[in-house]
Structure 1
Amino acid sequence: MLPDATASLPVQPAASSFSMAMRILPAAQRAAMQDIYGFCRAVDDVADGDGAPREKCVALERWREDVDACFLGTGPAPLASLTRHLRRYGLAREDFHAIIDGMLMDAQPSPICAPPAAILDLYCDRVASAVGRLSVRVFGLPPGDGILLAHHLGRALQLTNILRDIDEDAAIGRAYLPRELLEDAGIGDITCAWGAGAIAAHPGLSAACTGLAAQACGHYGAARQVLRRHPGACSRAPRLMGAIYQALLARLLARGWDSPREPVRIGKLERIGILLRHAVV
């Protein structure tokens, strides 16, 4: 059965980078972020689930209706706490809609494969930066810099995820690397007639990945500039998330993208070390 809002929102894995970043928040902010995370997990489970594309789209639109009901104060009982957070932190309906729209991109019959750069950027904005825009309201960052941080850090994190998950995505027919970088790397006029697996196995893939990693580094740099303007509690969680994911990107760059690719992870002890270095600023 596809997940919907009639069930409890999922909770984050105890050992995740997200969980570590959220533990440093005050209780009220942590509760809000847990519900935002639960919403994101629930709609992501729909998009990546086993249902037919039409069923997934119907389920995602049902989530949109439930979110709209929350903003009217008539949401389903399992979303009662999320409704309270909407009011307390002034969360924006359009950001929840954007996240659902991003999941709809993944739920289409044809998997995302070698999208043009503009489409990839739109996807990153919907599935990552929109989450950031909700998060910075909870953290209490000023609106202007909060939106700017969400723009850059959301894209940095999502591009890092894409670079980490190339083989996992290829196994389900997805290839998020932008068409322009693939063509520059000599992988040809990509229409995905080859399939995502063939793209992942192509010897030119490393050059395309290095180009995308450079874009991610640029976004991390821009995010750091924003964070420097806001030392203290309001920036601790995003600073920690950025540091963990930037360490992951550095490890990916050191490993490279030539086949076979060993999985890259940041272990618990390393995450704790990053926490000690960054979360007390």
Structure 2
Amino acid sequence: MSDESHHERELGGQLLASVSRSFYLTLKALPQELREPISLAYLLARTADTIADTASVPATVRIECLNDFESLVLGGSDDVKAHLTKRITADFVAHQSDEAERRLMERFADGLAWLGTMQGAPLHAIQQVLQRIIHGQRLDIQRFPADGSLRCLQTEAELDEYTWLVAGCVGEFWTEMCAIEKPASLDPAVSLEQMKTLGARFGKGLQLINILRDIGEDIQDGRCYLPGFTPEEVQRDSRILQPAWQHWLGVCRGHLDCGLDYIRHVADAKLRYATALPLLIGVKTLSRMEKTSWDKLLQGVKINRLDVAVILAETAIACRSVESMTKLYHKLGQH
């Protein structure tokens, strides 16, 4: 058994499933050529995300550990690895209330070992996307240091930058991996750069769904991603955010429409199915949010497992043609 298949079997199964939740459905559905590099990139991104999100660890320590993790992703020294291993064990493992994230922290070095089996263009693409994601996570810690105070993003450019760094660049990476590992899977009538642009907006749309859906929880945690407000205004009455929330909902829908355009130009049916799942679950969530009162929005909105099961079944049929997929997208996203 090769190193690659060993690592994929050890880390790309139960551990990946436990930390990726519904996105594991997409990873599992990918064509074999794409499953390993994309699963690995996702696992390493989730590792960095857990480091960034462990609010009980001081912001300076989290940023230092992210810097070390980025160094190791780029091929850093054994000294850096030994130092980070000690910090992860001492400062992060015990602070994970989620069992899956605790195991992810315990096995962070195994993810790096898996990365060590990659080479050439796939390795470069994984390193590049992780650099961007980690940069976005560092920015998030600096802007929202989890010190008990509420802070707000100041400009639309800050929000757009953040959504690109933590998700839009993933759409570009996904497209690059398709071009590297399975070039016939993309419509030759559309350039790689056009697909990367659509993929970036697709990713930004999925991240905006998270931001709009989690607005109440984020405010409680001291983070307001909707720009243009003071903390005092938001704390006085969160309903002041409603017009901005509606505006960004419209931006999000525009991004998801680009996701639909992206899927229309995926020529491989298996890849089209895997790529469509997050889009269709996302647009269903968006539709539900549009129909929810502000007070209930602050409590969080999700679609349930039955909704997801129905989407899986409908997508399996609809992905056979672009026309059927388009109809399903519009049905699930009805206002």
TM category, shorter: 0.7 to 0.9
Distance 1:87 1:12, change over 3 A: farther
What residue number does 1:247 align with? Answer: 284
Q: Give the number of the structure whose residues are more often helix, by fraction.
A: 2
Distance 1:110 1:79, change over 3 A: closer
- Do residues 276 (structure 1) and 313 (structure 2) align? yes
**TM-score between the two structures when normalised by the length of structure 1:** 0.81
- Do residues 206 (structure 1) and 242 (structure 2) align? yes
What residue number does 2:131 align with? Answer: 97
What residue number does 1:224 align with? Answer: 260
What residue number does 2:293 align with? Answer: 256
What residue number does 1:54 align with? Answer: 60
Matches of 1:270 and 1:259, distance apart in 2? 19
Matches of 1:44 and 1:86, distance apart in 2? 24
- Report which of the two structures shows the higher radius of gyration computed on alpha carbons: 2
Structure 1 residues 100-119: aligned runs within 5 Å = 100-108=134-142, 110-111=144-145, 113-119=152-158
Residue 14 (structure 1) shift: 7.3
Residue 207 (structure 1) shift: 1.9
Moved over 6 A (4+): none
Structure 1 residues 149-168: aligned runs within 5 Å = 149-168=198-217
What residue number does 1:87 align with? Answer: 120
What residue number does 2:251 align with? Answer: 215
Unaligned runs of 5+ residues in structure 2 are 1-10, 82-108, 146-150, 180-185, 321-335
Determine helix, strand or coil for the equivalent of 1:91: helix
Matches of 2:20 and 2:144, distance apart in 1? 33
Distance 1:87 1:81, change over 3 A: farther
Cα contact 1:128–1:157 (8 A) shared by 2: yes
Q: CA RMSD in A?
A: 2.8
The one of 18, 21, 24 equivalent to 2:26 is 21
Cα contact 1:12–1:37 (8 A) shared by 2: no
Matches of 1:135 and 1:125, distance apart in 2? 14
Matches of 1:207 and 1:137, distance apart in 2? 37
Distance 1:155 1:69, change over 3 A: same
Distance 1:241 1:78, change over 3 A: closer
Determine helix, strand or coil for the equivalent of 2:162: helix
Residue 269 (structure 1) shift: 2.2
What residue number does 1:169 align with? Answer: 218
